[in-house]
Amino acid sequence: MIHIRVSPVPIDIAEEMARIEGGTSGAVATFTGIVRSDDGVATLELEHYPGATEAALLALGEEALARWSLEFATVVHRVGPMAPGERIVFVATAAAHRGAALDACAFLIDRLKTDAPFWKRETRAGETRWVEPRAADDAAAASWQN
């Protein structure tokens, strides 16, 4: 089963964990991304392309389910304005064994950074700028090609 949600609503980790731990898997792997306050970031705002974003995340979830024989995959991503310390993304995978759960979780977070249409804008000391894609994110996503 795949659960995808893109929303301005804060991420409830307990709710998401209850959903994924309800099966018969022997391993659950998770990743939670938090808005950093690097260099004085006051606000991070995410925009997305509704419909296309969910479709891209669903396609990644389907690929992970098939590639690692997962029981569950969850991707919950915030959009809108967020302050440092708030959760921005939650990824969880459930599989029979830890290796598959861990690999699939890493795959999903690496690939969603490059494959899902999100745009980030930071505000620092009253100045707002768009966040450019990072070469490290491209390299991490490319590492999963085979």
pLDDT of residue 138: 83
User: Does 146 score more than 80 pLDDT?
Assistant: no
- DSSP for 90-119 reads EEEEEESSHHHHHHHHHHHHHHHHHHS-EE
Nearest CA to 146 out of 67, 55, 39, 41 is that of 67
**Beta bridge partner(s), residue 93:** 29, 73
User: Does 92 score more than 90 pLDDT?
Assistant: yes
CA distance 84 to 82: 7
Span 98-141, pLDDT tens digits:
999 999 999 999 999 999 999 999 999 889 999 888 888 888 88
- Distances in Å between the Cα of 110 and the Cα atoms of 22, 67, 125, 127, 133 are 25, 15, 30, 29, 13
Local structure of residue 133 (DSSP, 8 states): P
Determine what percent of the chain falls in helix, strand and coil, rounding each to the nearest 5. Answer: 35, 35, 25
The residue count of the chain comes to 146
